[in-house]
Amino acid sequence: MPALRVAVLWHQHQPFYKDLVSRQYRLPWVRLHGLKDYYGMVKLLDEFPQIHQTFNLVPSLIAQSQDYVAGTARDPLLELAAKPARDLTQDERRSALLYLFQANPVHLIGRYARYQELWERFRGSGNSPERAEKFFQAQDFTDLQ
């Protein structure tokens, strides 16, 4: 039987999340997927030099990635995560509670006991940042960051 040749093409795309007026990123997915997925997929191929694959990166993904690499991306969620928890304003704490749990409960949150604990506390408040805030101390926010 002749060998079967297979071409694998990974098409990596992200919408353009950068608001061209405010220059801020509305959602963090380029940064998060860049850290969690895109690099790791290519790096994994180092372990399998006999396997060749093609990665297609769309222009909007490349442009946004370059902003992060250059340090010019204005990402409110990254800024929120970088700020010391004790210095967060009430609005920032509520934003943290709203956005830092936007992960898959089974595949991401559930893998980390502390993250799961904080997520359950948030869910216990009806997923309301306003109600949940009083149940989260500075250390809890540090752990979320």
**What mean pLDDT do residues 73-86 have?**
94
Nearest to 17, CA basis, from 73, 72, 57, 70? 73
What does residue 75 show for φ and ψ, rounded to 5 degrees? -115, 100
- Whole-prediction pTM: 0.75
Work out the average pLDDT over 61-90. Answer: 95
Question: What is the mean predicted confidence (pLDDT) over 73-78?
Answer: 93
pLDDT in tens, 95-120: 999 988 988 999 989 999 999 999 99
Q: Which sequence spans correspond to the domains of the chain?
A: 7-75, 83-145
Q: What is the pLDDT confidence band of residue 143, given thresholds at 50, 70 and 90? A: very high
Contact 82, 122 (CB under 8 A): no
Mean pLDDT of 64-72: 95
Reported as a single tens digit per residue, the pLDDT across 10-65 is: 999 999 999 999 999 999 999 989 988 888 888 999 999 999 999 999 999 999 99
